[in-house]
């Protein structure tokens, strides 16, 4: 997947890129769940390549136009962890809890399970940042 954008913030360890609406989203399988294609602008934080490789070419600058690149299968994995797995978890808990509790209690329990799930995703942020590598390229 390739998205174009502009650098909005640079720190010593990260670069924040504001992504623009992208025509490449039309051919993507994860377009419906991704959310980038639906909005005008999203921001993504990328590890600063100049922090890792000081011998690389000239550094990035604020408002510079860049391409953000991620392997398509990583995008599908991200959609799975953000949308598909929580849905499966919700339905599973709902079906199992409906055997033991009343309908409204099972529904509340199923919804309550999503809170700890998304909190755990938040705390596993560093793990997912290592798994979902995103590259940044200068536009020519």
Residues 43 and 92: beta-carbon distance below 8 Å: no
CA distance 57 to 28: 31
Give the pLDDT score at 43: 78
Each residue's pLDDT tens digit, 58-109? 677 787 888 777 777 777 888 888 899 999 999 999 999 999 999 999 999 9
Tell me what pLDDT residue 128 has. 82
The whole-model pTM stands at: 0.62
Partners of 66 in beta bridges: 5, 138
pLDDT band at 13 (very low <50, low <70, confident <90, very high): confident
pLDDT at 132: 76
Domain spans of the chain?
A: 2-138
């Amino acid at each position: 997947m390739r998205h174009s954008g502009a650098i909005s913030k640079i720190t010593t360890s990260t670069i924040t890129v504001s992504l623009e609406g992208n025509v490449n989203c039309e051919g993507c399988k994860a377009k419906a769940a991704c959310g980038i294609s639906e909005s005008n602008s999203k921001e993504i934080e990328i590890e600063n390549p100049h922090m890792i490789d000081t011998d690389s070419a000239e550094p990035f600058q604020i408002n510079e136009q860049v391409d953000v690149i991620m392997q398509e299968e990583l995008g599908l994995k991200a959609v799975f962890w953000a949308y598909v797995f929580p849905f499966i978890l919700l339905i599973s808990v709902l079906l199992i809890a409906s055997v033991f509790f009343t309908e409204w209690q099972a529904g509340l329990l199923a919804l309550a399970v999503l809170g700890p799930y998304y909190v755990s995703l938040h705390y596993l942020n560093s793990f997912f940042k290592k798994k979902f590598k995103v590259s940044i390229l200068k536009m020519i």
